[in-house]
Amino acid sequence: MRQLVLDTETTGLSAENGDRIIEIGCVELLDRKLTGNNLHFYINPERDSDEGALRVHGISNEFLRDKPKFAAIASELLAYLKDAELIIHNAPFDIGFLNKEFDRMGLGKVTAHVSGVIDTLVMAKEMFPGKRNSLDALCSRLDVDNSGRTLHGALLDAELLADVYINMTRGQNALVIDEEPSEDQAQTVQDFSAIDLSQFQLPVLLSGEIELQAHEVALADLDKACKGKTIWRRHESVRVAAG
């Protein structure tokens, strides 16, 4: 699965009122692993940033004067985003700005070009209800090093969010189970001599009610974190349908 962690910086808070994108940063994940195939643009927004926005991102109007306009980078951005799943913190904000920019180019909505959008802010509110769920708060909570983040920056924030997302979904690289063993794994199994277990008297320790409940809670948390895509749930649904 190809996923892109995306962040933008803008001249202000309202795309509807004419604010524009000044920076786009994207970090690529392929099968939940960082590839290094990232994309980053500074963009001339053809207007000045609000004072409040300048305090957030620190990107001066003068710095952006000689940067390409959105029209100049649109085709490269669109090709990069094509058919990927986007991961964005507070997705409606960034999607709203991208939709406005795409609409100016006659390209339709960005969501028409990607396979889907994951909003990590929504995920965080479900996982940590009642707590602060800004990117900085999540970095602190999930032990992601954000010491280099003094101002907002699209590429840096996308890189941090990639780490946050992997941690929020429990780093499931380590939990992936191959349903079919590789040739090396099969050979390793064959290299072991068969052991007759009938000669051993193995004690059977049954789980208590509290342990079973805790186990179900842990499975439910894992299932929720990966949006119902855990292997055991798929197998469970197949057994129910077959039964």
The 3-state secondary structure of 92-103 reads: HHHHHHHHHHHH
Task: Please name the residue that has the structure tokens 């320790």.
Answer: 205
Instruction: Identify whether the C-beta of residue 40 lies closer than 8 Å to the C-beta of residue 155.
Output: yes
- Here the tokens at position 78 are 């669109």
Mean pLDDT of 93-119: 96
Closest CA to 222 of 212, 232, 213: 232
Mean pLDDT of 218-227: 75
The answer to whether 57 is a known catalytic residue is no
Instruction: Identify whether the C-beta of residue 7 lies closer than 8 Å to the C-beta of residue 151.
Output: no
Name the DSSP class of 44.
B
Give me the chain's average pLDDT, please. Answer: 85
- Here the tokens at position 44 are 């001339």
- Identity (one letter) of the amino acid at 149? R
Task: Please name the residue that has the structure tokens 């939940």.
Answer: 32
Residue 210: the pLDDT is 85
Tell which wins on pLDDT, 71 or 216: 71
Phi-psi region of 46 (alpha: psi -120 to 50; beta: other; left: phi over 0): left
Alpha-carbon span 195 to 95, nearest angstrom? 59
Residue 137: the pLDDT is 95
Alpha-carbon span 228 to 232, nearest angstrom? 10
- Here the tokens at position 165 are 């997302």
Residue 157: the pLDDT is 94
**Number of other CB atoms surrounding residue 13 within 10 Å:** 14
pTM score of the predicted model = 0.70
Residue of 57, 89, 113, 152 marked catalytic: 152
Phi-psi region of 18 (alpha: psi -120 to 50; beta: other; left: phi over 0): left
Three-class secondary structure of residue 105 per DSSP:
coil
Mean pLDDT of 28-34: 95
